[in-house]
Amino acid sequence: MNWPTAALAEVAEIVSGGTPKSDVREYWDGGVPWVTPKDLSALTGSYIEETPRTISKLGLEKSSASLLPANSVLFSSRAPIGHVAINSVPMATNQGFKSFVPFPERLNAKYLYHWLRKNRAYLESLGNGATFKEVSKAVVSAIEIPLPPLPEQRRIAAILDHAEALRVKRREAIVRLDELIGATFSDIFGDGSIVEQTRSVGDVCSLVVDCVNKTAPTVDFPTPYRMIRTSNVRNARVDLESVRYVTADVFDRWTRRVLPVPGDVLLTREAPVGEVGLLEESGRVFLGQRLMLYRADPQYLVPDYLLYALKSPFVQRQFGRFESGSTVKHLSVPVCRQLEVPVPEIGVQHEFAERIACIRGLATKAQGQDVNALFNALQSRAFRGEL
């Protein structure tokens, strides 16, 4: 079905944010919720109702921040581009947002929320800037979206809400299963410190490789070449559901150091520090920024064991000792090469891998590639008018 389209400025008021002066105490802690893009990065649902920091009414008046009514759509327009949420109470944002107050007779907030999420790669491609990319208000205002009748918008939003709820349940199941594997590790190895022998991870891996320290130029359409980002490394897995794509030439340049293969263990050095995941899928993937790759030497380590050794309190405490940075904590590449890991007998490691194989199988099933594929297909069909 071919629906008409409309520029966002025609169906919503577009509101920029602002930050009160930080050295004026009267502008802060006044009870007005104040959102930053970082606050949305930790959000698990579609709604936000409270924020770590608040500003005062005076701070609101004396800055370029605006009070957004409830049921506005918050969209981070820089650092990074593409976080989306709906506020359930009135709140303000910092300058990293271009938020939308939908005209109720034209646009449903939840419909817009889902459209923005579906088109994140496209929206990121619209960003400009040398230091960091930002989507300007003028650019946002001109973006055209499909505009079915309001009842159809609400129907589409309800379908996508239900599909997203199924995905959330699957993710929660994966977290619980990962916790069970962690408990199995603790049963055998304690917190890691009871293992008699420890070695530098660089001595017991055949490869320890960091990423190319430059952001790969991406494209806004799918290709066979996928970039793994820190956000893809969660819950002991490398989740390739939400990735960025590059051209063949970029892929070749960014895999000169290493081409990741199944069984490799990835570690995030920053944003956040210390997430670990096992790569299970084969394919043309490469490391994005702030990632380390560890390839277990089979003489010393089993990949499943290495994964949970890096997640163990023994190693995680080292992250706390060695991380640096006053604003954003990070681990240096030399530290990542020199981390001490407990190295039990290889037979015991194989025993651990066998014990958790069934649990990992359940987790793989719960990963729900079918659910993810269904959700992505629903998104695409929804905004083409095919639901």
**Which two tokens mark 93?**
């944002």
What b/e sequence results for 281-316 when a residue is b if at least 16 CB atoms lie within 10 Å of its CB, and e otherwise?
eeeebbbbbbbbbbbbeeebbbbbbbbbbbbbebbe
User: What is the signed CA dihedral for 295, 296, 302, 308, rounded to 10 degrees?
Assistant: -70
Query: Hey, CA dihedral for 44, 281, 336, 289, is it positive or negative?
Result: negative
Q: What 3-state class would DSSP assign to 360? A: helix
What is the predicted pLDDT for the residue at 104?
95
What is the predicted pLDDT for the residue at 366?
60
What is the predicted pLDDT for the residue at 305?
96
**Which two tokens mark 335?**
């530290």
Cβ atoms of residues 91 and 114 within 8 Å = no
User: What is the signed CA dihedral for 162, 234, 44, 16, rounded to 10 degrees?
Assistant: -110
DSSP 299: T
pLDDT in tens, the chain (387 residues): 689 999 999 999 999 999 999 999 999 999 999 999 989 987 888 999 999 999 999 999 999 999 999 999 999 998 789 999 999 999 999 999 999 999 999 999 999 999 999 998 889 889 887 777 899 999 999 999 999 999 999 999 998 898 888 878 877 877 788 888 888 998 889 877 777 789 999 999 999 999 998 889 998 788 999 999 999 998 888 988 778 899 999 999 999 999 999 999 999 998 789 999 999 988 899 999 999 999 999 999 999 999 999 999 999 999 888 877 766 688 999 999 999 999 999 999 999 999 888 887 776 666 655 566 666 767 777 777 766
What is the predicted pLDDT for the residue at 178?
82
